[in-house]
Amino acid sequence: MSSSLVRFISTIVCLMCGVMPAAALPDVDVADAWLDADNRLQVSLTNDGDTLVWPGKGGLTIFIDGRAVMSYRLGDLADDAFRYPGGVTTVSTNIRLFGPYRRVGIVVDPHDDIVEAMEVHNSHTHSLLPAPLTGFDLAIGPMLRSSGGELWIPIRNQGNARTPAAHPATLTIRVDDGATRTIAFDAGNILPGGTRWVMPSPAIGLPAVHRVHARLNPGAFLQDLDSVNNTAEAWLPISPVVEEVERIAALPAISAAIVWHNHSGTAVPYNRWTASQRLDLRTAVNRLENGDPAGLRVPPGLPTADTRLIADTDAWRIYVAHVAQSLWVEARGLVPWRLTAMSASDRSLLLDSNHIVQPSLLRPPMYSFYGTVADWSPESSWQFLTGLGLLKSTHRGTVEALTRWMAVHLYHAFGSTPRTEMYAYAGAAPTDRMLYSIDGQLHWTLGCHGTSGLYRAVLRAANIPVMIERDDSFTHTRPIFPSINLAMVHGDDPYRERLRDSGNPLPISVVLKTPAEIAARYIHAPLDCNSTGCNTPAEQWSYNATKDSLSASLAALSDNILEPYVRGGPLELERVLTGTGATVHPLFSPAERSAARTAVEAELRRVGGGSLPLGRDRVLQRLNVFVENTVE
């Protein structure tokens, strides 16, 4: 009898005997992803749930630099250990990577075919740095239409070694939705950095605008240093979307919002841009249409000892990339909301350069990023939202989906850990390396400032405006979502423990409040008093925030309120519900604390099938699993 069959029968017997709770569910997670010694991607899957994954359910999708490059059906994996509680399966892929940090996104069960205990651990996003191996790397360069209207395709060697002599390769080409054509050519003796032009014979004519698809078989496939840069798509001579973007940009309401602030601080609206500046925008949009970065490929250089500063040329390219991203999303109709329907202030948040990069008036012509986040790559934010399924049909839905991801993955950075260690970059925190943490690091955020900036950066890529508001002391910030009239009390709210998804999850709505509610309940809250005095405004804010958090947890009986009892018993729950004693009143009255204890014990008995000790054990187990899976 096979080991798989033994595990299957054992699990069924456990279920029939009632050893597992009636609500037992599997929980398939991406445990890790790494590059082996040959720079080939390895992915490990595990089941941290209580029961097995039924056969034929679920899939696995792998994204490299935002592009889906490989998909598996979980039922087709030769090793099915992941289907069983505690089992681990390693998927060895043929994806080989080369060059600087690569953004790797992995989503298990992307279509929610498997009903799981915790859905929030189904994605894994990291920046992996390939080892500096020696070899060739053939890739398709920018295709072009010759002066005679014919298709020419450059094949570049992006590796660090010459291709072998007499090295046969093929190109498969399709124009629009027509038939494919395969062309054999010699890719031998191409030096590093060199190019071999492929000019099909007979020629492929492009008399008008066409969409060209090309796939390169580089020959000796397993020797090629990078396996994911062998396909390309391009509009030739230029995408028709570029003209639509220019039409949108010229609309009075949009043109007034597109404002570049030059290094002297002068505001230059779109209708005063030079021909060269407008060409830069056309080029950036066309690059997006062809699947290329609209601006920089790596975070900007830091030209001075002041790591806040970047060169004006990089600042301009970053800004143009953002405008291109915003107008491309609008022109393509990639979201159901329209720029033209927004308020002027909301459009300004998206399109005015002062909300992205700002001129340094003390060090011209240098610029700095707005805030503590380096929002240098809008397409990486867009690819993150779309690849992980976080882009929803409404602003609020997208905000809530992103917040749920943050609740599980973001970690507040404390102490003096250098940014070079957290992000492999000395400047402002790069957005992409907060979303795709570098190997060996967590998804670090520089507290409320970093998280508020991350909201602004990621949502801007989908044309959702975000404001950042600082408190009077400038020590804390919070994001405001003006298009839906909601905000957070504090930028750290998303990853506070009360939002974790083990047990009964709290709705994201508990951290989203209207600005009026925040003002009334926290900023200008009435002060509680007793015979000895009153709370200070800061004490009242903290008191109200803590009590509201615990009240929401009690209403849902989430693990945040079960944990004190599970880990420390009734006395620890009593301590938490009473508070620190620093304010004039306890958080909850004796009667409220007694009722809370009764409710918590009833929930633990329910989880334990009538047994309070068993319920405590099960909640403790799922709390520990949640923490282990969150630390990627």
Mean pLDDT of 81-86: 93
Mean pLDDT of 592-612: 95
Burial class (CB in 10 A: 0-12, 13-18, 19+), 145: buried
Nearest-CA neighbor of 423 among 563, 298, 255, 532?
A: 298
pLDDT of residue 474: 59
The CA radius of gyration of the chain, in Å to the nearest whole number, is 28
pTM for the model stands at: 0.91
What strands, in cross-sheet order, belong to the sheet with 102-108?
A: 67-73, 59-64, 102-108, 123-128, 437-438
pLDDT digits (tens, 9 = 90+) for 209-237: 999 999 999 887 678 999 999 999 999 99
pLDDT of residue 83: 93
- Start-end of H helices in 310-394: 312-332, 344-351, 378-387
pLDDT confidence tier of residue 11, bands split at 50, 70 and 90:
very low
- Average pLDDT of every residue of the chain: 91
pLDDT of residue 20: 42
pLDDT of residue 625: 72
**Cα 369 to Cα 554: distance, rounded to the nearest angstrom:** 41
Concatenating the DSSP letter of every residue in 196-234 gives EEE--SS--B-SS-EEEEEEEE-SSGGG-S-SSSSEEEE
pLDDT of residue 175: 96
**Cα 630 to Cα 442: distance, rounded to the nearest angstrom:** 9
pLDDT of residue 500: 65
Mean pLDDT of 533-538: 93
Q: What SS3 state is found at 91?
A: strand
pLDDT of residue 16: 35
Output the CA–CA distances (angstroms, integers) from residue 88 to 22, 239, 348, 442, in the order listed.
24, 46, 49, 22
Roughly what angle, to the nearest 10 degrees, separates helices 559-578 and 590-607? 160
